[in-house]
Amino acid sequence: MNIPIVQTYTPPGFIDLGSGNPSLELLPLGMLKEAADRYFSAGDPRTLQYGAEQGNGYFLAALADFLSSMYKADVHPDSIFTTTGASSALDLLCTLFTQPGDTIFVEEPTYFLALDIFADHSVQVVAIPMDKRGMDVEKLEERLAEVQPKFVYTIPTYHNPASLTLTQRRREKLVDLAREHDFLVIADEVYHFLSYTQKPPQPMAAFSDQVKQVISINSFSKILAPGLRLGWIQAHRSIINQLTGCGLLDSGGGLNPFASAVVYHMIESGDLIKNIKKLKNTYQGRLDVMTETLDRCLPEAKYSKPQGGFFVWAQLPGIDTARLRKRAQSFKIDFRPGELFSSRNGLKESIRLSFSYYNPAEIENGIKQLADCLHMD
Ligand SMILES: Cc1ncc(COP(=O)(O)O)c(C=O)c1O
């Protein structure tokens, strides 16, 4: 019997190359145990009280130091707000800043589960195309002449699913447009720290000190563990004030004080940085195996090799990938078809493959099986 503990269950023998989850052996149980031991030894019951609205001050200070060293730019604890992850941050921002019927802009493709959050808030979604340099800000500017969005949702670095990164010039242009037309930019930066071959540009978070329109959301899901349900928003003081004053926090206090008090010890001990280094090494190795196997066994798949993140976004010209998926599932193999990532029923010849969940042998095997399935007729 399968007793549910995790969100997605993959039967034995099945390889789901679509899953964007970290593999179980990469979840840092040992480091967390040590952090939890230190937490419990400190014996401070205040961390089990309703928490301060912005988050535990020790956690915010440690996170600000960590971000300052990673971004090589000063990040002040006052500019950070603790969340229960990027998904809940997005939901909260929709609650605070949109009304049903408002328009928002997203990239095409975009993170498919964000589309579900936007649907919960009954907002109208307008797709802005992407090219090699990330969101096409010229096209964005053209759309702004027709409609005023409440916000633009972007995944600027190692995009899910496209693995593209918005160039510095386009980041600046996006911020200029946001100021000029007064819309918010919600930058989902959850993959920013997972760079493999090249340093990414400065995060969008770097603009948020000066520009009240820019909100960066981030998470420990990709750099520690999704089950912690812990993340943060970095934004201008005026936005942080709106967040801390919302009804959810009036009633429930700051978000996830327990997990943040434990993770504080992982940041302080240097274990968070150690863990990120380990993840980068592991994922880079898995990515290499995925692309080598694709090139060897599925040469018709067109893609650009990602420089970070979790995903290979490939085009299979002439193939309806939703139909291919059904056939693949009968071969005990799965992926995510492109249409899931489209807000306008497009991208039918694309697929998203993930290299985060399986070890190199499984990835190689999975891609070979996918190629067999595709080459069957
Ligand atoms: C772009 C993007 N945003 C948000 C999330 C979810 O983040 P969290 O676990 O912090 O809610 C994911 C996870 O796949 C993601 O890829």
CATH number of domain containing 171: 3.40.640.10
Q: Is 39 in the pocket of ligand 1 (CB under 6 A)?
A: no
Domain shared by 289 and 152, yes or no: no
Say if ligand 1 is within 6 A of residue 188 CB: yes
Cα–Cα distance, 352 to 345 (Å, whole number): 16
CA of 86 from ligand 1 middle (Å) equals: 6
In a domain, 6, yes or no: no
158 neighbors 195 (Cβ within 8 angstroms): yes
**Does 258 map to a domain?**
yes
Angle in degrees, CA 75, 85, 233, rounded to 5: 30
Residue 332 DSSP code? T
Name the residue of 16, 83, 113, 117 to mutate for ligand 1: max ligand atoms within 8 A of Cβ.
113
**152 CB-contact burial (10 Å; exposed 0-12 / middle 13-18 / buried 19+):** buried
Query: Are both 186 and 326 inside the same structural domain?
Result: no
Question: Do 185 and 228 have their domain in common?
Answer: yes
Closest residue CA from atom 16 of ligand 1: 160
Q: Is 136 helix (H, G, I), strand (E, B) or coil?
A: coil
For tokens 């195996």, the residue is 289
Number of domains, the chain: 2
| Residue 306 and residue 164 in one domain | no
Query: How far from 74 is each of 71, 154, 169, 268, 321, CA to CA, in Å?
Result: 8, 23, 21, 18, 45
Nearest by Cα to 155 from 139, 174, 180? 174
Q: Does the C-beta of 85 come closer than 6 Å to ligand 1?
A: yes
**CA–CA distance from 375 to each of 20, 263, 368 (Å)?**
25, 47, 10
User: How confident is the model at residue 211, as a pLDDT?
Assistant: 97
- Is residue 357 located within the same domain as residue 260? no
Residues 302 and 318 in one domain: yes
Classify residue 133: in a domain, yes or no.
Answer: yes
Same domain for 323 and 358? yes
Last residue of a domain, one of 248, 269, 290: 269
In a mutational test of the pocket of ligand 1, which residue from 186, 189, 194, 221 has the highest number of ligand atoms less than 8 Å from its CB? 221
Give the structural domain span for 288.
273-374
Are both 256 and 287 inside the same structural domain?
no
Distance between CA atoms of residues 111 and 118, nearest Å:
11
Hey, what are 280's tokens? 């980068």
Cα 169 to Cα 206: distance, rounded to the nearest angstrom: 14
- What separation in Å is there between the alpha carbon of 109 and the centre of ligand 1? 15
Predicted confidence at residue 24, as pLDDT, reads: 95
For the chain, which residues score pLDDT lower than 50?
none
Is 150 inside any structural domain?
Answer: yes
Residue 24 inside a domain? The answer is no
pLDDT for res 1: 60
161 upstream amide cis, omega within 30 of 0: yes
Q: Rounded to 5 degrees, what angle do the CA atoms 317, 321, 327 make?
A: 125
Whether 234 and 370 share a structural domain: no
- pLDDT reported for residue 376: 84
Residue 198, pLDDT score: 87
Give the number of the atom of ligand 1 that is nearest the alpha carbon of residue 219: 10
Does 23 reside within a domain? Answer: no
- Identify whether residues 237 and 284 lie together within a single domain: no
- Would residue 15 count as lying in a domain? no
First to last CA, the chain: 37
Classify the C-alpha dihedral 298-155-349-221 as positive or negative: positive
Instruction: Please state, in angstroms and rounded to a whole number, the distance separating the CA atoms of residues 75 and 151.
Output: 24
Residue 86 Cβ < 6 Å to ligand 1: yes
Question: Which one of 245, 269, 293 terminates a domain?
Answer: 269
Cβ–ligand 1 distance for 111 under 6 Å, the answer yes
Please check whether residues 149 and 98 belong to one and the same domain.
yes
Task: Choose one of 236, 269, 302: the last residue of a domain.
Answer: 269
Ligand 1 atom with the shortest distance to the CA of 159: 1
Q: Distance from the CA of 376 to the center of ligand 1, in angstroms?
A: 35
Q: The domain that contains 370 carries what CATH number?
A: 3.90.1150.10
In our burial notation (b when 16+ CB lie closer than 10 A, e otherwise), range 206-240 reads bbbbebbbbbbbbbbbbbbbbebbbbbbbbbeebb
pLDDT at 153: 98
Ligand 1 and 219: CB distance under 6 A: yes
202 shares a domain with 55: yes
17 within a domain of the structure (yes/no): no
Residues 371 and 297 sit within 8 Å (Cβ to Cβ): yes
- The CB of 190 under 6 Å from ligand 1? The reply is yes
Q: Hey, what amino acid is at 226?
A: P
Closest-CA residue to 373 (of 356, 351, 357, 342): 351
